Structures are given as C-alpha cells and as structure tokens.
A and B are shown apart, each in its own frame.
Chain A
C-alpha cells in the first residue's frame, strides 16, 4: 500500500545532542511537510518542501532544519534539542501544493529529550 513512513517511531536524545528524524513516502507526492505536535495541542507546521523548493514558516526556530535528497525522502534535523522540543513530529505529504489538497500523514515520531 502507498503510504507515509516515519522512522523511528520513538526517539530518545540528550539535551543538545543533534538528532535526525526521517520520513519516506511511496505516494510520489510533490509536497512534504513537517509538523510539531506537543501534548494536547494542534499540529504546528514547521516547514515544507514543494519538490526541491524549501519553505520555512516564519516562527520556526533556526534549531530546526530539513533536507529532501529526493522525492521519496525528507529529513528533520534538530541541531541542539532542548527540553521544549520534546513532542510528536509528524510528516505529511500532498500531491501538489494547494489549499484544497488532502494531506496524508505518517504515524509520527515521538521525541524525548533527556
């Protein structure tokens, strides 16, 4: 089945130690998104790629970076995780970039910062 896959499902890192979360998709969608979802809160968009075009949200901290080496893969890099970065990180895709487009979400990676 075509899907959005996130690895690992759970990630533990130490305060200040760089960490990378990965996302892959078999939907061949042009757009890939990264959201941060803290406990009992709405998902918050960090950034997205439209093909190779990177689009950062204005309030996304510089500590968060992303890479998309090809259509199928997208990575979220947290350069120096703080305790406040503990959250669920959701990857999503959509066929094209448009306000009417359905987003397809992966199962998420829960990040714990010690």
Chain B
C-alpha cells in the first residue's frame, strides 16, 4: 500500500527566506502527487499536483514542487515566504494502478513564518 512520509513535523523560518518542505512516498510504478495547505480552522486547499509531464510543477501562492522518481520525493519549495504562509502543509499520493481513487495523506508539516 502507498504511504507518504513528511520528514519534518515543524519548520520555522524567517519572513522572506526560502523554504523547502520535504515529502517522500513509497515506491510505485506511477503515482499522482499533491500538496495541500490547511490554514487554521479551515479545510485543505490544493496548492499543486503532479500527474505527468514536466517534473517541476508550479502552484498557487508562489509555491513549486519537483517530482523525483529515483528518490521517490516530491519536495515543496518557495523562494521567499510571507507571514501569511504560516499553515499546515500536507503531501498526498494516489496510485492510478490500484483501480480505486483513494488519496493517502502524510502527517503534515507545520510551517511557521517569523517576522
């Protein structure tokens, strides 16, 4: 079964600094990968997703992620963060070969942007 590991439970960073949130998934021939953001007391919102094609995926709010098949990783990056980026970030994976639709979420990384 698919699994997702988010290597950092919390990432503190200063405003305007770059950030990388790490995500690794268990190996599969093909996968779909997602990053969702959850602001306090809100539901999850899609930041970006990788289905196929270019391994560098650009999303909303200046975020991007790079799919690395050999390292089974899908790390999320932003070159310059804002206070408003403080939130919980979830990496998720789905396997198109299972015949189902289920999305598996990682445990989340809390990004805390300091002034």
Residues of A within 8 A of B (CB): 4, 6, 9, 31, 40-45, 48, 90-92, 97-108, 110
Contacts and interface: CB of A to CB of B under 8 A. Distances in A.
Interface string B87-109: 00010001110101111011110
Contacts of B96: 99-100
Nearest to A9: B41
A90 B4 CA distance: 20
Interface in B62-84: none
A70 B36 CA distance: 28
Interface residues of B, number: 26
B101 A98 contact: yes
Contacts of A90: 43-44
Interface in B24-66: 32, 34, 36, 41-46, 49, 51
A108 B95 CA distance: 26
Per DSSP, are chain A's interface residues mostly helix, strand or loop, or mixed? loop
Contact of B51 (A42, A45, A48, A100): A100
Given A99-B96, A100-B96, A105 B101 contact: no
Given A105-B45, A107-B41, A41 B51 contact: no
Contact of B44 (A31, A43, A44): A43
Contact of A106 (B43, B46, B95, B100): B43
Given A100-B94, A102-B49, A108 B106 contact: no
A41 B46 CA distance: 18
A42 B90 contact: yes
Given A45-B102, A107-B41, A108-B41, A99 B107 contact: no
